[in-house]
A and B are shown apart, each in its own frame.
Chain A
């Protein structure tokens, strides 16, 4: 089974701190994604990556950056955390394919910014 692992289940940070959320997948997937999930808003795509060192902005990239130095690892960075970034963050991966869009998700990181 594909495993997508997020390094932290819960994080509490202060406003202005730099925050790193780590995600690792073990199935050699080309594509990796970061979503945030908020009540009433559903899942919204922050960034995705379709190859090492490649990244594309999603729907809500402002205030975030990403890093993909190795194929299995995709990091989400909050340069200066703000209270409106309190949310559930979900990482996902998928095979590159025009006909297979099935995503595999990690268990999520609940981030609270105080």
Chain B
């Protein structure tokens, strides 16, 4: 059974802090790992990672994949209150169509 595990499940930081969110996976025929941000209702896409060691970056957010150790991290530098959200990690499993999601990390950034 495919498995995606995120840690921590929740995190409270102060504005300006740097945070690292973790995602480990056990997925048959691994192809990619995706990160989403869910602020209110709809998760929005952040990154898709397919190659080990190549960092994807968007502003203060960055992510990297380690295919040998089967994990990915999402870094957020200089956090802002607008970064408060649930961050979801997911990977397609043996089937072509569906994503297996982790339970998410709830990040709260306080002023």
Contact = CB atoms under 8 A, between A and B. Distances in A.
A94 B96 CA distance: 11
A8 B99 CA distance: 24
A41 B103 contact: yes
Interface in B66-111: 88, 90, 92, 96-99, 101-104
A31 B92 CA distance: 13
Contact of A105 (B44, B96, B103): B44
Given A42-B88, A101-B92, A108 B101 contact: no
A50 B31 contact: no
A5 B48 CA distance: 23
- Bin the interface of chain A by size: 20 to 34
A48 interface: yes
A101 B104 contact: no
A74 to B, nearest CB: 13
B43 interface: yes
Interface in B23-65: 31-32, 34, 36, 40-45, 48
Contacts of B42: 4, 90, 105-108
Interface in A41-71: 41-45, 48, 50, 56, 58
Interface of B: 31-32, 34, 36, 40-45, 48, 88, 90, 92, 96-99, 101-104
11 contacts: A33-B97, A41-B103, A42-B102, A42-B103, A43-B88, A45-B99, A98-B31, A101-B32, A102-B34, A103-B99, A107-B41
Given A103-B99, A105-B43, 16 more contacts: A42-B88, A42-B103, A42-B104, A43-B88, A44-B101, A45-B98, A48-B98, A56-B97, A58-B98, A99-B31, A101-B31, A101-B48, A103-B45, A105-B42, A106-B42, A107-B40
